[in-house]
Amino acid sequence: MRKFLICMLGVVSGIVLLTSGNAFAAVVTLDLTSDNSGSINGAQFWSIYPKGTGTGVIDAFVEIGANTDVIRAYNTIVDGVLDNTNTDQFNHELLLSSVPIVTLEDGINYREFLLDINQQGNHPYLTVDEIQVFRSSTANQSKETFTGGIVDITGGLVYQMDAGGNSTILLDFNHGSGSGDMFTYIPDSLFSSKTGDYVYLYSQLGGDSFKGVAYPNNDGHEEWAVQKGATTNPPVPEPATMSLLGLGLLGLVGFRRKKASN
């Protein structure tokens, strides 16, 4: 019986886990409308319950401006690359030194990114279909081609959400534009194996169905940002409670935290 269980565990693990370039990759459907956090391919994703943010607190580095069902962009000052907007204030190069390092309760150092979505109130849900993070020595690229689903950024691929399969995150827009909806934490160790001063973050939203239902983009623009301020360590909140997330100048941002079930 014991040998049978070990054998079955190996079969299940072989189905669920696939070896990628930097981690074990799993296909995950993560519902941040009901769960407060979850993990995909070693990265952590937390829902946010903010009280107030703004340009003095965060630095928006990519603004996805197309009002179409599926949107995709990465940070560059070059106008109109994929679906980025024409404003240089919210689309520009991002230095690795500007991306905060946060130590979470697992003791691991992560680079922290903030996503702010914008949906209509009567259709508030939106899927995050893909996230790709690169480290590069070349700022403000304008590549719009893809190889094997990966945008042809000149540099090293640090993280891919869809490594090993098509993972999806479901978000609920209920905070108002400019307040933030999801923290993304990418292990800092993944950046160490690549070179270059610049970070690119590519994302696609609105194209995947979530458990058979489509949640396309329907309003306004979406923004990725980083917090301004020093490296900080967020406190660990009690399960199923609201807690203040003491992260630098964004001390007014609160969130709930519990284990996600995939």
| Neighbouring-strand partners of residue 120 | 123
pLDDT category, 179, cuts 50, 70, 90?
Answer: low
Q: Are 225 and 48 in contact (CB under 8 A)?
A: no
pLDDT at 56: 60
Could you tell me the pTM of the whole model?
0.79
Q: Are 39 and 239 in contact (CB under 8 A)?
A: no
Helix (H, G, I), strand (E, B) or coil at 228: coil
Q: Are 128 and 33 in contact (CB under 8 A)?
A: no
What confidence tens digit (pLDDT) does each residue in 67-118 have? 899 999 999 999 889 999 878 889 999 999 999 999 999 999 999 999 998 8
Nearest to 150 by CA among 131, 170, 129: 131
Q: Where are the domains of the chain?
A: 32-253
What confidence tens digit (pLDDT) does each residue in 25-41 have? 678 999 998 888 999 99
| Amino acid symbol at 231 | T
Q: Are 57 and 228 in contact (CB under 8 A)?
A: yes
Q: In degrees, to the nearest 5, what angle opens at C-alpha 203 toward C-alphas 225 and 208?
A: 130
What confidence tens digit (pLDDT) does each residue in 194-220 have? 999 999 999 999 999 999 999 999 877
Give the number of other CB atoms < 10 A from CB of residue 125.
Answer: 20
* Residue 114 to residues 5, 106, 107, 137, 250, Cα–Cα distance (Å): 42, 20, 20, 23, 11
Place of tokens 């279909």: 129
What confidence tens digit (pLDDT) does each residue in 108-137 have? 999 999 999 888 777 889 999 999 999 999
Listing DSSP states for 136-161 in one string gives ES--S-----EETTEE--SSEEEEET
Give the span between the Cα atoms of 87 and 80, in whole angstroms: 10
